[in-house]
Amino acid sequence: MERLKTTFAGLDLKNPFIVSSSGLTDSAEKNRQLEQAGAGAIVLKSLFEEQIMWQAAHHAAETDYPEAGDYLQGYLRAHYLDEYTRLVKETKKVCTIPVIASINCYTDREWEEYAKVIEQAGADAIELNLMALQASVDYQYGSFEQRHIDILKHVREQVHVPVIVKLGSNLTNPVKLIAQLQANGAAAVVLFNRFYHTDIDIDKLEYTAGHVLSHESELANSLRWIGIASGAVGRIDYAASGGVTSGRDIVKSILVGASAVEVCSALYKEGAKAIYPMLEAMRDWMALHGYETVGQFKGMMAAKDPEQVNAFERTQFMKYFGEKK
């Protein structure tokens, strides 16, 4: 495993394989098994602002007291935070690899206080999972990006552990935002968070979940933007998320500048046993090409010169290569 060592967000990892935040990481026992299977780090299941707000509104609607919503919101926040700190503490007892807490938020509320308590519980880092659609006709351009910066700044004021920001893919210019996040203390960014896929049951006329698990084709977007951003914005680490299904995908991600990858769907499909073959394939590739460390090929294919930038920024393949026959 010495060959696969890497650093991410200031954390020393035995390999680049990070288990992404999901139901796979919602208990200490599951996390212990993932470490035994070879994971380099674990992101705990997220503490969801949306879930807290929804439950408070749902229960408040059942009462005749206007102040009930605020009370329930406060109660639920305290309850979920208590449960979450317990998860952090129990996981730290049985795991030696870095344990990263995850806060899934979309408003600038009291998350800095949450982060402080979670840090005190023993989390090695905090991942801010920021994702929301901007669909209002009154939307002010740039306000969504500024919200990322404001939440990060407020959390950074309260904690000393590294803060990682996981971004959604609905950003006009991720590179500009990443530069601002780096300037405001982000240790790393993860590209990208995966949106809930909406579908419709046309027989029942109901909204349903679309494809729940990611597909290998989704990695392309992360490769594009990590390749561009890592060439333009240094002093911050990158991780690829979405569509990482093989050891070759890990290699690709590192070649464009990532220090690590976050994996979820592959583990849902195959279980923790998927980890070792992916790492073994990566190790074999490194041996074949003569690389002793991850750092020797990290960022080798990032967009550092005009030709590489052009390869990443092409949006119309046919414009350059003619009509498909």
Domain count, the chain: 1
Tokens of 68: 């009930």
For 104, the 3-state DSSP assignment is strand
| Residue located via tokens 């979450």 | 84
Q: 32 with 275: CB under 8 angstroms?
A: no
Write the secondary structure of 59-72 as one string of H (helix), E (strand) and C (coil).
Answer: HHCCCCCCCHHHHH
Q: How far apart are CA 202 and CA 1, in angstroms?
A: 50
Distances, alpha carbon 88 to alpha carbons 12, 105, 117, 299, 301, in Å: 19, 18, 11, 33, 37
How does DSSP classify residue 67? Answer: T
Whose CA is closest to 278, among 298, 297, 252, 259? Answer: 252
> Is 296 part of any domain?
yes
What pLDDT does residue 323 have? 52
Confidence label for 67 from pLDDT (cuts 50, 70 and 90): low
Query: In 3D, which of 124, 122, 143, 121 has the Cα closest to residue 132?
Result: 143
- Looking up tokens 């026992």 gives 29
Q: Which domain holds residue 81?
A: 2-300
Extended beta strands in 29-89, E state? 41-43, 47-48
8 A C-beta contact, residue 111 and residue 130:
no
Q: CB 299: neighbour CB atoms within 10 A?
A: 20
- At position 193, the amino acid (one-letter code) is N
For residue 187, what pLDDT is reported?
98
pLDDT at 222 over 70: yes
| Contact predicate 318/237, CB 8 Å | no
Residue 12 or residue 82, greater confidence: 12
Give the confidence band of 248 by pLDDT, cuts at 50, 70, 90.
very high
Judge whether 158 lies within some domain. yes
CATH number at residue 207: 3.20.20.70
Mean pLDDT is lowest, of 115-119, 223-227, 292-296, 313-317, for: 313-317
* Residue 128, SS3 per DSSP: strand
**Tell me: the pLDDT tens digits for 23-52?**
999 999 999 999 999 999 999 998 866 555
Element (H, E) at 259: none
Q: What is the pLDDT of residue 258?
A: 98
Q: What would the two tokens of residue 179 be? A: 């530069």
* pLDDT above 70: residue 96: yes
* Res. 324: pLDDT tops 60: no
Q: Residue 215: what pLDDT?
A: 72
